[in-house]
Amino acid sequence: MKPITLLLAGAAALALVACEQKAPEPPPAELGPDTAEATIPTITPIPEQGDGGVAEFYNLAGPAPAKPGTLIRTEAQPEGTSLAEAGQAMRILYSSTDGLDGKTPVAVSGSLFLPKGEAPADGFPLIAWAHGTVGVADVCAPSNNPRSERDTKYLNHWLQQGYAVVASDYQGLGTPGGHPYLATRPASYSVLDAIRAVQGDPNLKLSKSVVLVGQSQGGGAAFATAGEAVTYAPELDIRGTVATGTPYFTNDTAPAVRDPNAVSGVFAYSLYIMYLAEQADPTFKIADYITEKAKPVIETTRTQCLMAAWNQIEKEGLNQVNTFTKDPTPALVKYYPLMAYSTLKVKGPVFLGTGGKDKDVPPPGQKRLFNDACAAGSVIEHKLYPDLDHSGTVNGSLADSTPFVKKAFAGEPILGNCKTPT
């Protein structure tokens, strides 16, 4: 078998991707707040896309409300899934818009954490947290699980500052329908409508000011959200964005192609992207590309979460050559624009944190995002942490991101360092 050079494999999975098209323009929204409920489809579970295995809370009986950002219901976070610094923690289910077709109402789940103590007169300032890769199966939804040690420390820090935290699971994680992994518009809509949903309930005592915060997949989601907000949710008072380990997919950057014989758990990212292709194109089937040897790990990606797939890939010695019967790149390339940012000119200043030893999202791609976003007119404060890796940069950047967020909420000027790059 000839070596296969899947563009999104290995350590370059979340880095630089060549694509020949610009990000697709959103189709016109055909379903509005006054659309008759009978015309709105009910989203049914798709087991092939990892649906199932979660509590009834996540399953909406009937169509989602037509108005995006409608809070459908809440319940207390189950024991073991809260945060120590939260005075109150709840699961939320709310309406959003399918980010793939740009019009269909969908239900999305997430969490809301309120800090301890009394809310200020104008409410708790709100952090909108966008999580990193967890998998594509419903059971992987962050609101369905204890947070990782890293994320627990990070989110508790923001609660200690007196900020509430709303954390979307993203479209299709927890709720019926596939999760459009790394697609920027679905993630953006999910984050923006989570903000709308919780701010719309006066009993939650939240202020109108918001800062977006994300890591890895969520770093891309946070940056994309700051761009999509201008047209999708212009009424929201987004003060700034914090993103670490942020992927960047461009139309003129060649990827660093990994040795097709190399074995690494990062290969799971490439497999998750194939689920996105199945959602975007019913004629694309993952099974058409998978060897017998790799079929068990595909089942794991469908039913379990990232680290289970990661560990199985490394244990079984899976790589591009022994996983694929034929190169899926030609079929996948047309979906790469779904993972691109629709604009690099975003709302509010952005803090970009990059680990110098990041192997998941290599630093050159993050530096390219900094340069291109600056050129587009965004205000970017970029910090490089030479000794930190992809995960370590999350908490390792707090000494810089904490004052950035404080300034953003206060409305103080943030000039960034576009003119004096790192």
Domain interval for residue 12: 1-422
Q: What is the pLDDT of residue 254?
A: 41
Angle CA 53–111–114, to nearest 5? 150
Residue among 233, 149, 234 at smallest CA distance from 194: 233
Report the number of distinct structural domains present in the chain.
1
Residue 111 contacts residue 77 (beta carbons within 8 Å): yes
Longest dimension (CA), the chain: 67
The DSSP string of 30-64 is ---TTS-GGGSPPPPP-GGGT---S-GGG--SSPP
State mean pLDDT over 143-155: 98
For residue 276, give the 3-state DSSP assignment.
helix
Q: CA-CA distance, 267 to 155, in Å (whole number)? A: 28
State mean pLDDT over 384-393: 98
Q: What is the pLDDT of residues 112-122, one digit of tens each?
A: 999 999 999 99
**Any idea which of 19-28, 66-75, 217-226, 321-330 has the lowest mean pLDDT?**
19-28
Q: What is the pLDDT of residue 420?
A: 83
Q: What is the pLDDT of residue 46?
A: 85
Contacts of 66 (CB under 8 A, 6+ apart): 31, 32, 33, 34, 35, 37, 40, 95, 105
Which residues sit opposite 354 in a β-bridge? 384
The DSSP string of 389-401 is -TTHHHHHTHHHH
Q: What is the pLDDT of residues 189-223, one digit of tens each?
A: 999 999 999 999 999 999 999 999 999 999 999 99
DSSP secondary structure letter of residue 20? S
Q: CA-CA distance, 218 to 131, in Å (whole number)? A: 5
Q: What is the pLDDT of residue 258?
A: 65
Neighbour-count burial of 410, counting CB atoms closer than 10 A to its CB (0-12 exposed, 13-18 middle, 19+ buried): exposed
Q: What is the pLDDT of residue 251?
A: 54
Q: What is the pLDDT of residue 48?
A: 85
Q: Which two tokens stand for residue 218?
A: 């969520």
**Mean pLDDT comparison of 24-38, 47-61, 182-196, highest-scoring range:** 182-196
> What CATH number is associated with residue 59?
3.40.50.1820
Residue 106 contacts residue 69 (beta carbons within 8 Å): no
Residue 305 contacts residue 271 (beta carbons within 8 Å): no
Distance (Å) of CA 267 to CA 1, 8, 51, 309: 19, 8, 22, 9
Q: CA-CA distance, 378 to 376, in Å (whole number)? A: 6
State mean pLDDT over 11-18: 39
Q: What is the pLDDT of residue 257?
A: 53
Neighbour-count burial of 318, counting CB atoms closer than 10 A to its CB (0-12 exposed, 13-18 middle, 19+ buried): buried
State mean pLDDT over 253-279: 82
Please indicate whether residue 134 or residue 257 has the higher confidence score (pLDDT). Answer: 134
Q: Are strands 350-355 and 380-385 parallel, antiparallel or unpaired?
A: parallel
Q: CA-CA distance, 247 to 217, in Å (whole number)? A: 7
Q: What is the pLDDT of residues 304-355, one digit of tens each?
A: 999 999 999 999 999 999 999 999 988 888 898 999 999 999 999 999 999 9
The pair phi, psi for residue 363, each rounded to 5°, is: -55, -35
Please indicate whether residue 38 or residue 165 has the higher confidence score (pLDDT). Answer: 165
Residue 313 contacts residue 265 (beta carbons within 8 Å): yes
